[in-house]
Amino acid sequence: MTSSDISQSVGAFESEIPTFGQRLAIQKRVLAALLLRELKTRFRVGTSRIGYLWVILETTGFLVVFTAGFALMHASRVDGIQVVPFLITGFGPFLVFKSIPDRCLYAIESNKGLLAYSHVKPLDFMIARAILELFTFVVVMTIIFVGAYFIGMSDLPEHPVRLLGDVFLAAGLGFGLGLIVASVNIKTAIAESVYEVIARVMFVISGEFYVPEMMPQQFRQWVLLNPLLDITEAARASYTDSFTHVYGNYTYPVCCTLVLIFIGLIMERAVRKDIEAA
């Protein structure tokens, strides 16, 4: 989708002061146009559109490596849950959480030319990318779950709606972080380096391939400060009632998500004039 498509989507409202209903219609058109634009670029590899397949292969690669590791340890279940769904419910929320800041980091710079249209704001770019990443990983997790079910390596989730809510919560947490790193990135190039360190630390402490009870107490108390670990534990409990989780709850990660999004929105608003003036 080109900038002319964005123009056509919102141009009908440019010459008048919109009402609240018109503002909602404008926002819907802007996000729909940006989503189509992102869809065309997100999954393109060179001149090919194999990016959809790459996302599936990348996620499956994580699962294969760690499943093989558990197999070498002769482990078929972890805390009452089969190894494959244990890993899916671990890597799924983490990859959703991480992919959104990854995509938000340069969302503004990549689409800066569209800010010539008064109804398009920097926040719209990040919302569009977050929605696309969330949808992508919901589809990928569904495909992998169904595939694992048909080859006998996993049962289907017992509480799929609740599991979907856990993935949405991980996406919200990632969106809050994405708003912050994208805003900081406007001011300083060091934002990307700091974020990469945070992402690597989060990979280790978010429980993708372990449960908190496996850790020594002196480390566990610090790891439990990570809200994504609660989401991971909750996702496994949503998959099956036989998972004996102790630490998964919603209050803490929901509060952290709201705080991050609130801070991120303030920061995005603070740098918006700098963005539009650049």
Q: What is the pLDDT of residues 172-223, one digit of tens each?
A: 999 999 999 999 998 888 888 999 999 999 999 998 888 888 888 888 888 8
User: Pick the residue with more confidence: 96 or 249?
Assistant: 96
**pLDDT given for residue 99 in this prediction:** 92
Cα–Cα distance measured from residue 212 to residue 221, given in angstroms and rounded to the nearest whole number? 9
Q: 213-267 pLDDT, tens per residue?
A: 888 888 888 888 999 999 999 999 999 888 876 676 899 999 999 999 999 999 9
Q: Which of 2-16, 143-157, 191-205, 216-230 has the lowest mean pLDDT?
A: 2-16
pLDDT band at 106 (very low <50, low <70, confident <90, very high): confident
What's the one-letter identity of residue 175?
Answer: F
Out of 32-36, 168-172, 264-268, which region has the weakest mean confidence (pLDDT)?
32-36
